[in-house]
Amino acid sequence: MRKKKQNSDKNLNMKELLFTMFKIGCIGFGGGTALVPVIESEVVYEKKLIDKDEYTKDVVVANITPGALPVEVAAGVGRKVCGIPGMLLSAVLMGLPGTFLTVLILMLINSSGERILQQILFASVGVTAYIIYMLLMYAKGTFRECREKGMAKSGTVFMFLVFLLTSGKDVFQLFGINRTPVFDIATIDVLCAAFFIIFFTGGRFRWSRIILSTVITVAYCLCVGQMHLISSSKVLFGLRLTMIALSIYGLCNGIEGKISFSWKALKKLVQEELGWTLLLMLLSVPALLCFGNTLRFAVRGLISAVLSFGGGDAYLAVANGMFVNTGMISHDEFYFQIASVANGLPGSILCKILAGVGYILGCQDGGVWCGIFVALCGFACSIAASGGTFSAVVYIYEQFENLRIFQVLQTYMRPIVAGLLLSVSTSMLYQNVNLAGWYGWPKAGMALLTIGVILLNVFWRRRGVVRPLQSVLFSAAASLAMCNVFASIP
């Protein structure tokens, strides 16, 4: 009887898990980092599938792992709730909606595809406003949590420093300032600087290490910032070596706790990697049967996914090198078809771009069905590479997570992510305002529409009158209606 009840609970959890991941995949505008609070709201607070500490660990690992961040977080949640099947299916369903829409619109691009994309963009204004609201709530919750833990000052400093270092370009664009910001540093560089400070100082306040780490970090930021005030590659190389050496020194001198190792954990890793490999092989079989260059495409896709640190823009640069510079597809096909469609749709840019490239290659070689099969192979590469890398990094992280320094890292990771999310919210607001520019509408009107939808969500949240999915649908409907009104005005 107890076994039947356990199986019933597991099946129920699986259904809730998969529906939740698919739903989030459908509204996943704004990039991977933007979905962190959305996923947390659903799986931690709404469905209570995992606890907050488990989720935070998944976010930490996903942020230091190359690949599609929302797919990795979904895989992490899935493996805790329903093991390997939950891990694989969660990752697939998180990336599927955006990938499906990308391929569908590429199929219809010469007929009604542009009209469909336009309506999706109009609805995305409201969904973007909802996600901005969630990002602001995440930052507010982070500040409250830091205050409860007695680290209000340090946590807040981390949060706003990360925001200031990463948001320069978006703030300048939002206010129409035609100048290059001093910083506007890539996410991966900010994370490198933050990890250096944490590892070297050990999370303890010691003046000598605080001053030294601050001087080195400022110099590093001046090297990698948009203005490149320190432009010497030798200086940058020296700073990176120094940061690595001091991080190792700090780790070696501050080891407290126990490094754990078990054959059971290693066996689980092997099983997970086999699962990702089988998923890749299964979804690639149709492409292998109809497209002669499937292996070449798959290898390039896997390599590009593993090299994709730094978000969507960074992946576009990697994919450009892998597929455009090598002559597999043309510049116009990549930027004016695939990238333009993918940027207007929900989901991971990595999954959408690889599927789009696969579709174009397959269509050119064997028609629409071949395009669909090669797109499926590209999608499989993005999921398997992201998930497989995530599983490996999770295994390494879990061996060291009992060390005090990794507990400090986990504590400060939330303020760091909150700072990144504040930067993302600025970028998303600019995207909405920029959409008005594309269609010749008043930018102030689009800004007011976005702010209005955010305030509506604040009102609904305080009154407790609607659930999250209803908020998303109402937000999308409001922006869809208003944007079509704007479009009808001559």
pLDDT tens for each residue of 18-74: 999 999 998 877 666 778 888 998 899 888 899 988 998 898 888 888 888 899 999
C-alpha distance across the termini of the chain, in Å: 68
The confidence score (pLDDT) of residue 254 equals: 64
Q: Are residues 160 and 193 in the same domain?
A: yes
Contact 457, 130 (CB under 8 A): yes
Contact 327, 78 (CB under 8 A): no
Determine the average pLDDT of the residues in 352-359: 95
For the full predicted model, state whether its pTM sits above 0.85: no
Q: Are residues 6 and 107 in the same domain?
A: yes
Determine the average pLDDT of the residues in 166-184: 81
Q: Are residues 134 and 161 in the same domain?
A: no
88-101 per-residue burial string, b: 16 or more CB within 10 A, e: under 16: bbbbbbbbbbbbbb
Q: Which of 235, 270, 254 is nearest to 400 (CA)?
A: 254
Determine the average pLDDT of the residues in 283-294: 94
Determine the average pLDDT of the residues in 447-463: 88
Number of domains in the chain: 2
Residue ending a domain, choose from 225, 259, 293: 259
Q: Are residues 124 and 218 in the same domain?
A: no
How far is it, in rounded angstroms, from Cα 121 to Cα 63?
Answer: 28
103-117, 347-361, 410-424: lowest mean pLDDT where? 103-117
Residue ending a domain, choose from 244, 259, 274: 259
Residue ending a domain, choose from 237, 259, 281: 259
The confidence score (pLDDT) of residue 425 equals: 87
Determine the average pLDDT of the residues in 221-231: 85
Q: Are residues 106 and 230 in the same domain?
A: no
Whether residue 226 has pLDDT greater than 60: yes
Residue 393, token pair as written in the block:
């990094």
The confidence score (pLDDT) of residue 141 equals: 86
Vertex 193 angle, CA 192 and 196, to 5°? 85
Q: How confident is the model at residue 2 (pLDDT cuts 50, 70, 90)?
A: low
117-121, 158-162, 359-363: lowest mean pLDDT where? 117-121
The confidence score (pLDDT) of residue 258 equals: 62
Q: Are residues 464 and 481 in the same domain?
A: yes
Helices (H) and strands (E) in the chain, counts: 20, 0
Q: Which runs of E-coded beta strand occur in 28-162?
A: none
Q: Are residues 74 and 183 in the same domain?
A: no
Q: Are residues 277 and 175 in the same domain?
A: no
Q: Which of 300, 265, 316, 296 is nearest to 385 (CA)?
A: 300
How far is it, in rounded angstroms, from Cα 335 to Cα 319?
Answer: 11
The helix (H) or strand (E) run that includes residue 198 is: helix 187-201
How far is it, in rounded angstroms, from Cα 177 to Cα 172?
Answer: 5
**C-beta neighbour count of 367 within 10 angstroms:** 11
Amino acid at 92: V
pLDDT in tens, 87-123: 999 999 999 999 999 999 888 875 555 677 788 888 8
Q: Are residues 333 and 389 in the same domain?
A: yes
Of 274 and 208, which is predicted with more confidence?
274
The confidence score (pLDDT) of residue 412 equals: 82
Q: Are residues 330 and 476 in the same domain?
A: yes
Concatenated DSSP letters of 248-281: HHHHHHS--S-----HHHHHHHHHHHHHHHHHHH
Q: Are residues 223 and 146 in the same domain?
A: no
222-252 per-residue burial string, b: 16 or more CB within 10 A, e: under 16: bbbbbeeebeeeeebeebeeebeebbeebbe
Question: Which range in 72-76, 337-341, 402-406 is most confidently predicted, on average pLDDT?
Answer: 72-76
**CA distances, 44 to each of 29, 36, 39 (Å):** 20, 11, 8
Whether residue 10 has pLDDT greater than 70: no
**CA distances, 135 to each of 33, 385, 414, 446, 454 (Å):** 10, 27, 12, 19, 11
Q: Are residues 373 and 464 in the same domain?
A: yes
Domain that holds residue 253: 151-259
Q: Is 389 helix (H, G, I), strand (E, B) or coil?
A: helix
Question: Which range in 39-43, 282-286, 346-350 is most confidently predicted, on average pLDDT?
Answer: 282-286
Contact 31, 312 (CB under 8 A): yes
The confidence score (pLDDT) of residue 20 equals: 93
Backbone CA torsion sign across 300, 301, 306, 309: positive
